[in-house]
Amino acid sequence: MHDNSHLVTMRVDRFVRERLLPHTHRRRHPLEVRQWVVPGEPVPFAEAVSEHFEPVSPGTAWGRPWGTTWFRATGTVPQGWGGDGTRLEVVADIGYSEAHPGFQAEATAYRPDGTVVKGLHPRNRYLAVPDVSEDGAVDVLLEASSNPDVAGGGSFTFEPTPFGDLRTAGDAPLYRLGRVDVVELDIAVWELLQDVVALRGLVDELPREGSRRAAVLRALEDAVDAVDPDDVSGTAADGRAALAPALGAPADASAHRVLAVGHAHIDSAWLWPTRETARKCARTFANVLALMDEDDDLVFACSSAQQYAWVRDAQPELFERIRERVREGRFVPVGGMWVESDTNMPGGEALARQLVAGKRFFLEELGVEPEDVWLPDSFGYTAAMPQIALAAGSRWFLTQKPSWNETNRMPHHTFWWEGIDGSRVFTHFPPADTYNSDVSATDLARAERNFAEKGRASLSLLPFGYGDGGGGPTREMLAAAHRTADLEGSPRVELGDPHDFFRRAEEEYPGAPVWTGEMYLEFHRGTYTSQARTKRGNRRSEHLLREAELWATTAAVHTGAAYPYDELEGAWHTVLLQQFHDILPGSSIAWVHREAEANYARVAETLEGLIAASLGDLAGPGEATVAFNAAPHRHGEVPALGATVRPEGGSPTVPVRVEDASDSATGGWVLDNGLVRVVVDRDGLLASVLDLRAGGREVLAPGARGALLQLHRDTPTQWDAWDVDEHYRRHTTDLTDADSVELLEKGPHRAALRAIRRFGSSRVEQVIALEADSAVVGVELDVDWRERQKLLKLAFPLDVHADRAASEIQFGHVVRPTHANTSWDAARFETCAHRWVHVGEAGYGAAVVNDSTYGHDVGRSARSDGRAAPGTTTTVRLSLLRAPLYPDPEADQGGHRLRAGLVVGAQVPEAVVEGYRANLPVREVRGGSAPAPVLTVEGDDGIVVEAVKLAEDRSGDVVVRLYEAHGGRAAGRVVPGFACSGIEETDLLERPLEEAGALTGADGDLVLRPFQIVTLRLRRA
């Protein structure tokens, strides 16, 4: 029998296009539209409504890039409209483009009294008109945002664009106003359209030769025959009757089950600034609330306390409505974090504070505590996350991004994720491979097809709704969910609560498999490096916050100084916001990063002021030099977390000596401090680094030079700012030539040499320094970066045979192979590390530390003669700067200051110490005394103090967060430096633990497992 199914589907598609879509509205009546153009940044409703609005007609150009135009639509509903079978609505076309919702014009609709009705976007253009006045008057105000389409129609061609910067975006209007009408929605035609769409989509997913597909096709053909083209409205019910048997056929008993939850992934900044995100949130949340009034089954999951806070502050009436739906359990806060942050680069304490700040907001403002961590779109997931989540009281983890992997497929969708300390969280990522589903047959079939746990489990989660730029669920998506609740050939769809999903999934599959370690994303590897100023701002802010809290706590305890709770909270909220997964990774438009840099500068000014005030209180009057050390380890004579009065004119035990080596084969100079002997050649590069403590062992690989800058071509295949592709390695230029090399400093405490290099349009001042009593060879770089589509790396080829490298992450480190034996190893060619990377062989190693760099690659290479042993080289390289063209064509251009250091003869404990020192230099102030540390830790030096602060409840108690840093067991004791009435162990939110943890006694004795995080409350007497 001839298969003519393609003719049937063509006929059905034309039926939808020419009969149903044009007839969903029985009648239309135009409204009069007037406009007021906001001259600058957005203004509140109360200000806008009092302005003079000018008449405007369809076709009028409006909307400069990033501008705001208020439209007011008024008129009267014609007599007799709104009868049976119809629904009165206002439909507004403000001139949308074909781009995806959230990447173009959108609007917030208000009533004349200022209450928000809902948001409008190109696939959600209607407003219900349920309460027309007696005279039929309609009055609607639209706050329209003329956001440019930086995404290029949603196709992401990655072409440089001026629209990402307000200074270059121009003033030319982007949109043309369409019509604003009051309409009669024909309910029967609309419902028939949803029936047809559901079954038509199913046809494409059913087996081609199957009887179910044939039955659905025949039903669709019967429906087309049943609807009279001359009376679509009057015969729509006949069409629905023809489809009823096909829609009523129940799903197979073994069909996959999908719990669908409304969702709107709203990037807190990306191709728009944060100020626009705040309005996106209001629009989307209002959409959801309006949809909940239409459909009692909708449950909406929403993360990010920051986004709720924006709505609370700008739209208090809307926020009260959200509160009510939260109480009902239909508007569900998820994630428990301040924002959906990146998890690779935030420091340990910052990632903890994401959950502390987020959960505090949800508890205090909404009376709920999410038990999950909800991060569908972050670019890979740190192996420290399971423990941090559990320590914050969370049980579950959701992500989607691993489905983007370029090379390897994650083997599970529902599993236990085990972190570096052995903690586990129950984890799911939706097999539909999207967090922006439209509940289409395509998405549902993909979920069933992909689900890796078939035979063991049968339930998956489907977040649905327009996202990234917001928008959320639509009534069409809900219609699809209802039609697939029990439909033959489709998974069963149930609308529900994401937390209920996790409870049911955990109960169904308690013996789920285990994934251990980081969930590395095999994609977007350039995000460890792009927008270096944003990354430096984050790193510096994290350490300034540590210092500010530590010294303010010490001052409060020792001098009674007031603790700056509000200033510290404000600084933390700014830093946490900017750890969002498109800000800190460097993948946003220029506006976002310029704003981030300005915010970091304000944070630094605030925190430096707080630190100065605390140190002044602690040092007291006097003219002595008082040195303060905020690091968790002693620095010379300065105790950890404490201070000392330094004698004037002191000299080191062994001064740094400088020798002229211009007559040698390498030329240059020799620096020697009794621990390390360094040869800097005539090009200003490291020619030799001898470890004098190890009998003069050479650290650099034979024939190699260290502190070598290397320039690579950097032309990603797809996502410019996001990606570093493996082919960059095939295009390398060693920057060995120097304009000049000179002795910069020669003193007992420090010696330094400076080389000036030029390449392309750029210039680098590279300083190599050696300090007394230090085994660190410092490298300081001042770069005037003017390259495009280039990657700058700093290389240290080391003479150690290391088959793995240890890289610092939050509260510990991970070990990664340096080889590419498997496809998983090969795909991990660029990795993230915090303050240090360590490589070693049995009995010997070295580390590279930094003050602001996250991107690294560590690999093994053969000697120049091709032999692999015994001269195998392990090279550690830091990725310093990039120059992508999209979405910010000026990314990283200009000046940069970066610092790194080669730690000679280091094992992991030394790497930990020097990593902190590189980021927490000793401060010196004038005063008369050195206060005792607020606390000390006695015992194993693997116990590291990460934070010291006063308690969140403002009780005055001292809270200390510490962890085991070396990867082994550790025992010790916390000794308060003040009158303490007791010590108790708490979770991250400073609530007492129900079960015994690391604290073994009331006197502060501790026993920690590898990488364990411990939070203690020290009650002040």
In the residue annotation, 377 being an active-site residue is answered as: yes
Instruction: For 793, list phi and psi in degrees, rounded to 5.
Output: -125, 155
Alpha helices for 143-231 (secondary structure H): 187-205, 211-226
Residue 566 and residue 552 in contact, taking contact as beta carbons nearer than 8 Å: no
What would the two tokens of residue 34 be? 């007037």
CB atoms within 10 A of CB 247: 18
Helical (H) or strand (E) element with 263 = strand 257-263
Q: How far apart are CA 345 and CA 526, in angstroms?
A: 12
* Burial tier of 908 (Cβ tally within 10 Å: 0-12, 13-18, 19+): buried
Residue 541 and residue 533 in contact, taking contact as beta carbons nearer than 8 Å: no
Q: How far apart are CA 882 and CA 641, in angstroms?
A: 36
DSSP labels, 792-834: EEEEEEES---SEEEEEETTEEEEEESS--SHHHHH--SEE-S
Q: How far apart are CA 942 and CA 560, in angstroms?
A: 32
The strand pair at 844-850 and 836-841 is best described as antiparallel
Look at residue 43 and give its three-state secondary structure. Answer: coil
Q: How far apart are CA 405 and CA 343, in angstroms?
A: 17
Query: Position 369: which residue type?
Result: E
Q: How far apart are CA 274 and CA 577, in angstroms?
A: 9
The active-site residue, picked from 377, 443, 714, 799, is: 377
What would the two tokens of residue 189 be? 């035609």
Alpha helices for 565-703 (secondary structure H): 565-577, 590-619
> Between vectors from CA 567 to CA 368 and to CA 303, what angle results, nearest 5°?
30
Closest Cα to residue 933, out of 618, 499, 582?
618
Going from the C-alpha of 79 to that of each of 86, 134, 925, the distances in angstroms are 14, 11, 81
Residue 1006 and residue 961 in contact, taking contact as beta carbons nearer than 8 Å: no
Q: How far apart are CA 258 and CA 491, in angstroms?
A: 7
Strands (E), 653-775: 657-660, 669-672, 676-680, 686-691, 697-698, 708-713, 732-734, 740-746, 750-759, 762-771
Catalytic site residues? 377
